[in-house]
Amino acid sequence: MSRERATVVVADDHPVYREGLTRAIGQRADLELVGEAADGHAALETIRELRPAVALLDVKMPGLDGLQVLHAIRRDELPTAVVLVSAHAAEDLVYQCISGGASAFLGKQADRDEICDTVAAAARGEVRLPPEIQGQLVRQIQLRAATDTPRLTTREREVLGMIADGMSAPDIAQQLSLSPATVKSHLQTLYDKLGVNDRAAAVATAMRTGLLE
């Protein structure tokens, strides 16, 4: 079967690591290295000029970072799929890359066959994520969905339940064996977490966000 090789541009500011990537791509029958860059601006310029099938980008680069290059590629509607690699796979970074339109995200510890396979898959229009990255992405999606719900400690939930029952601060203090000053502080923190200034608004907001039934 003879197919046209997928063209690839590689961008990474570290010469040694970049050399490893370009060598691996050069050895693949299904991939063709057409350009490389050591920073984000040069990467974007090369991609605009050569319009490769895939851009393999490091996230942390001087000038524009990989995420900014990705945004520019999508904004300019270039026909290039983007695979991002990073030495530092923070959950929210994975989320930003995928939601920003990347075809794949890989940790830089991934072996070169896996990176090349992912690049080849991106050229075919596939999206590939290693299992650990999938896990991070799912956690981040869930976290972002839950962002409207204030995060209360056990004690704060107890105090919230009691003000919803109409208990006064001294009653709450007695029931929980806390000093009135401590209860007052819990109330202040509760109000700040709920973004309100009084009890009634606290109870209303807690009901709206599902903290209270």
- Give contact residues for another protein (rule: CB under 8 A): 13-14, 16-17, 19-20, 24, 59-60, 65, 67, 86-88, 90-93, 96, 108-109, 111-113, 147, 150-156, 178-179, 181-182, 185, 189, 192-193, 195
Cα–Cα distance, 67 to 49 (Å, whole number): 19
**Nearer to another protein among residue 181 and residue 200 (C-beta):** 181
Handedness of CA 189, 192, 193, 199 (dihedral sign): positive
Pull the structure tokens for residue 67.
């995420």
Specify the residue, 3 or 75, whose C-beta has the smaller distance to another protein.
75
Q: Which is nearer to another protein, 5 or 155 (CB)?
A: 155
- Residue 19 beta carbon to another protein: minimum distance, rounded to whole angstroms: 8
CB of 59 vs another protein, minimal distance in Å = 7
- Shortest distance (Å) from residue 152 CB to another protein: 7
Helix (H) or strand (E) holding 113: helix 112-123
Q: Strand ranges (DSSP E) for the chain?
A: 6-11, 31-37, 54-58, 81-86, 104-107
d(CA 174, CA 180): 8
C-alpha 202 chain-centroid distance: 31
**124 vs 197 by CB, closer to another protein:** 197
**How near is the Cβ of 95 to another protein at its closest, in Å?**
9
